[in-house]
Amino acid sequence: MVTCHGGHVQELSMVQQNLSGTLSPAIGRLRSLRSLSLRQNAISGPIPKTIGRMKLLHVLDLSNNQFSGSIPSTLGSMVNLRYLKLNNNSLSGPVPDSLATARMIFILDISFNNLSGPRPTFRAWNAFLDGNPLLSDINCEGSESGVGTPLYGRSCSESLAFPAVGPEDTRKDDSRVMDKKIMILTVCIALGCSMVAMVAGAVILFRHWRQRQRVFSVAEVQHCREVSLGHLKHYKFKEIRKATDNFNIRNILGEGGYGIVYKGHFPGGTPIAVKRLKDHDSVIGDDQFHTEVEVISLAVHRNLLHLIGFCTANNERILVYPYMPNGTVASKLKEYVNGEPALDWPRRKRIALGASRGLLYLHEQCDPKIIHRDIKASNILLDDYLEAIVADFGLAKLVDHGMSHVVTTVRGTVGRIPPEYFLSGHASEKTDVFCFGLLLIELVTGRETLELHQNEYQKGGILEWAKELLAQNQLSSFADKKLRNNYDSVELEEMVQIALLCTMYSPKHRPRISEVVTMLEEGDGVAEKWEAMKNVEEPNPEDLKYQAIAINYYEDQCSSTELQAVELSGPR
């Protein structure tokens, strides 16, 4: 997949494409590239040093290939690089000092190569180096050659040997005394080793904790320290306060369970959106903050919101984003321009496609994959060209590609919780697919899902109602009245069918997001999948009332921030 913007290539992803040969040094000419992923191919030869010229690169994934030679030192000078994976290759030689001291990298994986020499002290947040048998920490003869713990499960400890008890004529009593002494000595040594291991483990955990805190620690001083974390800037609190006019209520763009979003301006007039987290001193608020920074640092795509910077001063948790002048899809669906709806049918189709492409990147092109868990119209922003930008990653989960789902605390938005997630806490890519189906319903009807649920004749059965209207060929009753029938009826029918496919009760019956993108792009496969769905046994409508139960439950628990979602942006 190749993504371009403004005439420049910004993303190049060729994952598992059976590519072979060598990587040309000409790759360094792609100066605007932000993400390069060539994992799981058969590319050999050295890694070109010219990659270091791509100063805007955030993600570099060359894992699971056949690259050989040394790691170019130029990689350590890439100031925006946040995610570097070179694991499972045949790289050799020492780890470059420039890479070891690069503090902007969030994930560094050089495991399972043939690297040698002393192990440096890495400044990356997460460094993976196991599987390099020649990369050593401690010289087994006694002298230290590095810092840290062994990387390949090797141990330099030798077996303890004791001298003979004495000559053959030594008395039996003396022998017993000596045996007892040996036994006591052995026990003491064993206990001592255990204590050393425990202390060493505690030190390692403490160092790891301190390493995390270096970037995201709450400053005890009045203003936060200004540092540069790759492409993310650590702002001073006074800068944020000045930009938002001391968090003036007139600048509020939106508010949700986790925070308030303000509009602001930096010197020079640059508009920004400032998300000030509530409960910043709670575990939930802190997790929300770390998750959002972590996910957005890894995910770089045209249809995903990027983070400008953050601030952690005065017990605050603040995130700074670019300001989106067209607000959210939810707010835009309600607007008129010169008597016409702000979002006509072609724009709604384009929004659906853009949001699906953003999800496709999160699910199938990120490693680890990312589950958003709160896809809805109020979390889809619109840029200057009304392109869809998926935002608000505070509830997102990072999941290994080998895992089908994760079990987690149920969080999300009222009326948008998939059945398997609400009932058992199982979250997967199909959780997002379900929510995306509801987003399509919002684009078709022009109303938020909860609003549709709260109509008495539809409550708990919005999906069944859509099916009935589809079967009766009466979708005009379902379409947004603001459109005044200015839409392609075939396209409308297909979008409703895709929405119903995405919201099937069982996650195994829902399409993958890549299939959804294909259906939205080309219309291919919609009719076939819809016909196949008719033969699938789904729970009867009575069983689908879990949504109504969920709504009532959430209304009773509305004070719980655990069960509310952040609305990144409100009407602007």
Catalytic residues: 374
The alpha carbon dihedral of 421, 426, 427, 431 has a sign of negative
Is residue 181 within 8 A of residue 277, CB to CB? The reply is: no
Collect all residues with Cβ–Cβ distance below 8 Å to 534 and sequence separation of at least 6: none
Is residue 397 within 8 A of residue 411, CB to CB? The reply is: no
Is residue 275 a known part of a binding site?
Answer: yes
**Tokens standing for residue 349:** 């189709």
Which uninterrupted H or E stretch holds 353? helix 345-360
The alpha carbon dihedral of 427, 429, 432, 437 has a sign of negative
**Tokens standing for residue 332:** 């835009």
143-152 contacts, C-beta under 8 A, 24 or more apart: 145/118, 146/118, 146/119, 146/120, 147/119, 147/120, 147/121, 148/119, 148/121, 148/204, 149/200, 149/204, 151/119
- The CA distances from residue 297 to 57, 102, 370, 375, in Å, are 12, 16, 12, 19
CA distance 228 to 225: 10
Pick the closest to residue 439 from 396, 380, 389 (CA basis): 380
Strands (E), 280-439: 309-311, 318-322, 336-337, 340-341, 369-371, 380-382, 388-390, 397-399, 406-407, 426-427
Q: What is the 3-state secondary structure (H, E, C) of 498-546?
A: HHHHHCCCCHHHCCCHHHHHHHHHHCCCHHHHHHHHCCCCCCCHHHHHH
Residues belonging to the binding site for ATP are 275
Residues belonging to the binding site are 275
